A and B are shown apart, each in its own frame.
Chain A
Amino acid sequence: MRQREFWTHFKRNRMAMTGLALVLGLFVVSIFAPWLAPYDPLSINLKEVLMPPSPAHYLGTDTLGRDVLSRIIYGSRVSLKVGFVAVGLATLIGLFIGALAGYYGGWVDSVLMRLVDLMLCFPAFFLILAVIAVLEPSIWNIMAVIGLTSWMGVARLVRAEFLSLREREFVTAARALGAGDTRLILRHMLPNALAPVMVSATLGVAGAILTESALSFLGLGVMPPTPSWGNILTAGKDNIEIAWWLSVFPGLAILITVMSYNLLGEGIREAIDPRLKD
């Protein structure tokens, strides 16, 4: 019943539906990249270096004569991967820590929440860069680092939900029936705490994509020749006076992607709790 209610609200929200459609479109693009891309994103053609957009190359070519459109299409795979793996990791950690803190309360709660406060003390980008200086920049390390530095919001959310769920009658009833801690947490409380987590995870994907592109832009993320939106922009910066298309299009791809996830996330939030609309 709650699900149907969610859908009626969600479907009525034009912004949310646009976000959903765009996100699904991005999935399609990255899954079918080999069929959609007009060229091989890695094939170098030194005869066509830094060509402006033309019918042969809709979005122009880069410093090695590679087709920018194809690289952007393949770049969506990186964003998608990083977005989902990093946020998946962050959500798991956040759920675990938040559930423990909210369920047990007392000193467990104080210790875990101080840890959250501490992590929030670090400028996230500093922490990420420091870890990357120690490990090597690679797509896997990026995912791990973003995940490990962005779970605090989820932890706080889940903790707050658990604190209030703990006092609810159905939980007391389950406990009276002899349910153990693990069963109470996993079967009775967690499913009821998931709604706000879903919102923050969707918005988190947007954040992770932004972070990955910034890292790749700085040369500390996904390494060339693997195309990512951020590292195409690096070439854009180096050739800013002569090749505007290298700066404009990949950035547009990031903007649209991040906006789609934000629209979707806000849509889910409003559908879960329609009162929030203002």
Chain B
Amino acid sequence: MWLYILKRLGLMIPMLLGITLISFSVIHLAPGTPTDMQTTLNPKASLEAQKRLRELYGLDKPLMVQYGDWLTRLVHLDFGRSFSPDRRPVWDKIKERIGITLSLNLMSLIIILGVSIPIGVIAAYRAHSWFDQATTLFVFFGFAMPTFWLALLLIMFFGVYLDWLPISGLTSLNYRQFSFWQKVQDLGAHVTLPVLVAAFGGLAGMSRYMRANMLEVIRQDYITTARAKGLPERVVIFKHALRNALLPVITILGLSVPGLIGGSVIFESIFAIPGMGQLFYGAVMARDYPLVMGELVIGAVLTLVGNMLADVGYALVDPRIRAG
């Protein structure tokens, strides 16, 4: 097992290099030098900022050297300083927001799993029943629904019309004066809509995937065997079938990380949540290049880590992977 993890970690190193290479080329995509472009496109980029950018990327040096320098700084988690008036280091800005984004995404993952697994299992077990058809319809809507539109509809209904839930930020203005339980309640009310929106995007895909898995497993010989030896149906479904159908879900969880992180830009900017996504959106709007680069690299690294965890998780529960 440890060998497998080590091997898997080793595989990450070339990927990390590749990620930095692509991120580096994105900033060099533009015609001319990045500093020219910032002065023409961004009135906020002063001559001083331009000079600092030159220093930051060492634009007078050859590309390879520039890349090498940038990479050396990255290893020390030095992403440069933001262009925004506070001029804070990019890493500090990301660090204080990454937790919010990750916990919101974790909550939506839990909801996705909690809802889609039962849906998938029942839909597969009672294939072609009314329940199966209803969920198929739901899945179809789910795939086509723009998440930001769903967010607007939910805001309109729960926030404006019913006035039940707050529609922006993470906490109320007088949060500091609340007692502990009031704080929990306040936070909970604030994250309800964003988490629902974030979860919705993944629900359709996961339910469908779960249904397909379960159908596949139910057809296997060992299920027939389990039934033939007289096991109660509950045991057959939950112990024999479900456990095997759940295995590939671990991989899908890993694969869903980039979608969730990318999606956080949308729901965080709609609900004004101070997470990584909102930070990234602001950086793009202000053409704060060091911050954009930093976020891009961190976003990809998070994906890489997510995939790695999924692979290791899979190997933990399925010995066949370790051997191969």
How many whole Å from A22's CB to the nearest CB in chain B? Answer: 11
Interface segment out of the listed A65-73, A169-177, A193-201, A232-240: A232-240
How many whole Å from B200's CB to the nearest CB in chain A? Answer: 13
Interface segment out of the listed A4-12, A84-92, A212-220: A212-220
- Flag A134-146 by CB within 8 Å of B: 1 or 0 each: 1110000000000
Q: State whether B292 touches A118 (Cβ < 8 A).
A: no
Q: State whether A126 touches B299 (Cβ < 8 A).
A: yes
How many whole Å from A118's CB to the nearest CB in chain B? Answer: 4
Beyond A124-B258, A129-B265, A135-B29, is A251–B300 a contact (Cβ under 8 Å)?
no
CA distance A247 to B215 in the complex (A): 39
Q: Which of B19, B26, B215, B293 has the most CB of A within 10 A?
A: B26
Beyond A119-B22, A122-B299, A236-B152, is A134–B30 a contact (Cβ under 8 Å)?
yes
How many whole Å from A277's CB to the nearest CB in chain B? Answer: 11
Beyond A123-B262, A126-B262, A237-B152, is A134–B15 a contact (Cβ under 8 Å)?
no
Contact of B22 among A118, A240, A254, A259 (CB under 8 A): A118
Q: Is B241 on the interface with A (CB-CB < 8 A)?
A: no
Residues on A with beta carbons closer than 8 Å to the beta carbon of B304: 121
Beyond A118-B15, A118-B22, A219-B285, is A125–B262 a contact (Cβ under 8 Å)?
yes
Q: Is A127 on the interface with B (CB-CB < 8 A)?
A: yes
Q: Is B323 on the interface with A (CB-CB < 8 A)?
A: no
CA distance A240 to B280 in the complex (A): 24
CA distance A247 to B155 in the complex (A): 11
Interface segment out of the listed B1-9, B52-60, B137-145: B137-145
Interface size on A, residues (CB 8 A): 46
236-271 of chain B: CB within 8 A of chain A: 257-259, 261-263, 265-266, 269-270
CA distance A19 to B242 in the complex (A): 34
Q: Is A262 on the interface with B (CB-CB < 8 A)?
A: yes
Residues on B with beta carbons closer than 8 Å to the beta carbon of A244: 156
Q: State whether A133 touches B289 (Cβ < 8 A).
A: yes
Q: Name the residue on B nearest A131 (C-beta).
A: B26
Beyond A122-B300, A135-B30, is A251–B146 a contact (Cβ under 8 Å)?
yes
Q: Name the residue on A nearest B259 (C-beta).
A: A123
Q: Name the residue on A nearest B37 (C-beta).
A: A134
Q: Name the residue on B nearest A255 (C-beta).
A: B144
How many whole Å from B71's CB to the nearest CB in chain A? Answer: 16
Interface size on B, residues (CB 8 A): 55
Contact of A206 among B144, B257, B266 (CB under 8 A): B144
Q: Is A117 on the interface with B (CB-CB < 8 A)?
A: yes
Q: Is A241 on the interface with B (CB-CB < 8 A)?
A: yes
Q: State whether B149 touches A251 (Cβ < 8 A).
A: yes
Q: Name the residue on B nearest A203 (C-beta).
A: B143
Q: State whether B152 touches A130 (Cβ < 8 A).
A: no
Q: Is B284 on the interface with A (CB-CB < 8 A)?
A: yes
CA distance A127 to B140 in the complex (A): 27
Contact of B303 among A121, A132, A233, A254 (CB under 8 A): A121
141-166 of chain B: CB within 8 A of chain A: 141, 143-149, 152-153, 155-156, 160
29-59 of chain A: CB within 8 A of chain B: none
Contact of B281 among A117, A129, A210 (CB under 8 A): A129
How many whole Å from A62's CB to the nearest CB in chain B? Answer: 15
Q: State whether A255 touches B303 (Cβ < 8 A).
A: no
Which residues from chain B sit less than 8 Å from chain A, CB to CB? 14-15, 18-19, 22-23, 26-27, 29-30, 34, 37, 41, 127, 140-141, 143-149, 152-153, 155-156, 160, 215, 257-259, 261-263, 265-266, 269-270, 280-281, 283-285, 287, 289, 292-293, 295-296, 299-300, 303-304, 307
Which residues from chain A sit less than 8 Å from chain B, CB to CB? 114-115, 117-127, 129-136, 206, 210, 213-214, 217-220, 233, 236-237, 240-241, 244, 247-248, 251, 254-256, 258-259, 262-263, 278
20 pairs of residues in contact across A and B, judged by CB atoms under 8 Å? A121-B15, A121-B18, A122-B299, A124-B262, A125-B265, A126-B261, A126-B265, A126-B295, A132-B284, A134-B29, A134-B289, A136-B41, A206-B143, A233-B148, A233-B152, A247-B149, A247-B156, A255-B145, A255-B146, A262-B143
